[in-house]
Amino acid sequence: MPQAGQVVFSRLEEVHFGKPAAETVAEIARRHHAERVFLMVSGTLNRQTDEIDKLRGALGNHCVGTFDRMPAHTPRSAVITAAEQARTAKADLIVTLGGGSITDGAKAVQLCLANDVTTAEALDRVRAPAPVKSPTVRQISVPTTLSAGEFSRISGVTDERTKVKELFRHPDIVPKAVVLDPMVTRHTPMWLFLSTGIRAVDHCVEGICSNESSPYGDAAALHGLELLARGLPRVKRDPGDMDARLDCQIGAWLSMTPLVSGVPMGASHGIGYVLGAVFDIPHGHTSCIMLPSVMRWNRSANADKQALVATAMGHPGEDAGDVLDAFIRGLGMPRSLGEVKVGSDQFDRIARQAMGTPWVPRNPRRIAEPAQVREILELAS
């Protein structure tokens, strides 16, 4: 029977790469007739570098406010605070400069502004399948890490009451434009740049290995994986190598092609959501810890696809789980749950909660019950 599938395209309009961020953002804002630009940015960059000042300078009087207090994992309370500031400022465009938590936060702020959400509890009203008004205040993102959430129509927000990271979806919350400037990433701590690079590797790998993969997604993800496999070690060796940093940024962009075009992720992402929300483990580190073990557990179901992964990483004929393990170790990243102080006494809780994520039920090797998640956790212990 012929192969069949579907590819969905997002409402991201443009990606600029290798250009100075501040001038490029200002030019995009002018072209879209933005008059009141609200910034959501990294607090560290705002306080310790001149990157945010350069952005304000380029925007001039059109910059109407700055929010720089978004914690990791994007808690609901911070989203509400940012939304209130943007509402008070009468923002007609949001610009983010920072990591994935800030990017996701701005996506959620778009929903809050469009739907009069003013409390953390009221965010329940804009979760699917509830009717949701489309955002009218759009977003431009300048990422400083490689998680690549700026290419997605999904926002991950943590409910502090339950310590569950929830997904908010709407086709219009994907940023209108993304600016990839390697120069702004030079301030990113090396552990964060490299670990989010493995997050991008995880996007590539789980997209390629999915039972619902597509030729379109595979083509982008395989090339993205090649760029990341070459670029991340180069950045570790020479942090000033801007060509390598841009290769990593483009690799991260390509890594999102499967996900944003409709290909589901698998157990590495699903378990990672729980580890991040419950134990406050950075998402890059969750991929470093879980991905090789998930690949080993899945090998009986998709060895042919795993062979493509090993080849793209420069190790044809080798076991993909072993290749990923060695690659991650070579970057100096954590490789076990023990290294981040998650013990086996927590495995049952993690396994139960992971079953409720969108991705574990769509893992390429079927996961029917928490006991199978626990098997993967034991491999990663």
Q: Is residue 9 part of a domain?
A: no
Average pLDDT over residues 127-155: 93
Q: Is residue 7 part of a domain?
A: no
Burial annotation 88-100 (CB, 10 A radius, 16+ → b, else e): ebebbbbbbbbbb
Average pLDDT over residues 170-197: 97
Domains: count for the chain:
2
Residues 287 and 374 in one domain: yes
Q: Quickly state the pLDDT bin for 129 (edges 50, 70, 90).
A: confident
What lies within 8 Å, CB to CB, of 368 at 6+ separation is none
- The CATH number that applies at residue 132 is 3.40.50.1970
For the stretch 67-85, pLDDT in tens is 999 998 899 999 999 999 9
Of the candidates 41, 102, 98, the residue with the CA atom closest to the CA atom of residue 73: 102
Q: Is the pLDDT of residue 178 over 80?
A: yes
Of the candidates 173, 172, 180, 107, the residue with the CA atom closest to the CA atom of residue 143: 180
Q: Is the pLDDT of residue 1 over 80?
A: no
Residues 239 and 324 in one domain: yes
Residues 76 and 212 in one domain: no
d(CA 253, CA 221) in angstroms, rounded, equals: 9
Average pLDDT over residues 259-286: 94
Tokens, residue 126:
């804009």
Q: Exposure of 4 by Cβ count < 10 A (0-12 exposed, 13-18 middle, 19+ buried)?
A: exposed
Q: Any alpha helices (H) in 282-369, and if so which ranges?
A: 283-312, 320-330, 347-354
Pick the more confident residue, 120 or 4.
Answer: 120
Q: 3-class DSSP state for residue 18?
A: coil
Q: Is residue 255 part of a domain?
A: yes
Alpha-carbon separation of residue 156 from 100, 106, 142, 184 (angstroms): 9, 11, 18, 24
Provide the domain limits for residue 74.
Answer: 14-183
Residues 166 and 222 in one domain: no
For the stretch 199-230, pLDDT in tens is 999 999 999 999 999 999 999 999 999 999 99
Provide the pLDDT for residue 243. Answer: 98
Residues 365 and 297 in one domain: yes
Provide the pLDDT for residue 127. Answer: 87
Q: Among positive and negative, which fits the CA dihedral 112, 117, 123, 129? A: negative
Q: Is residue 3 part of a domain?
A: no
Instruction: Say what the pTM is.
Output: 0.95
For the stretch 316-354, pLDDT in tens is 999 999 999 999 999 999 999 999 999 999 999 999 999
Provide the pLDDT for residue 4. Answer: 84
Residues 26 and 148 in one domain: yes
Q: Is the pLDDT of residue 118 over 80?
A: yes
> Which amino acid does the sequence have at 238?
D
Provide the pLDDT for residue 199. Answer: 97
Alpha-carbon separation of residue 113 from 31, 87, 95, 212, 357 (angstroms): 23, 7, 15, 35, 27
Provide the pLDDT for residue 186. Answer: 97
Residues 352 and 375 in one domain: yes
Q: Is the pLDDT of residue 164 over 90?
A: no
Residues 202 and 111 in one domain: no
Residues 231 and 368 in one domain: yes
Provide the pLDDT for residue 165. Answer: 85
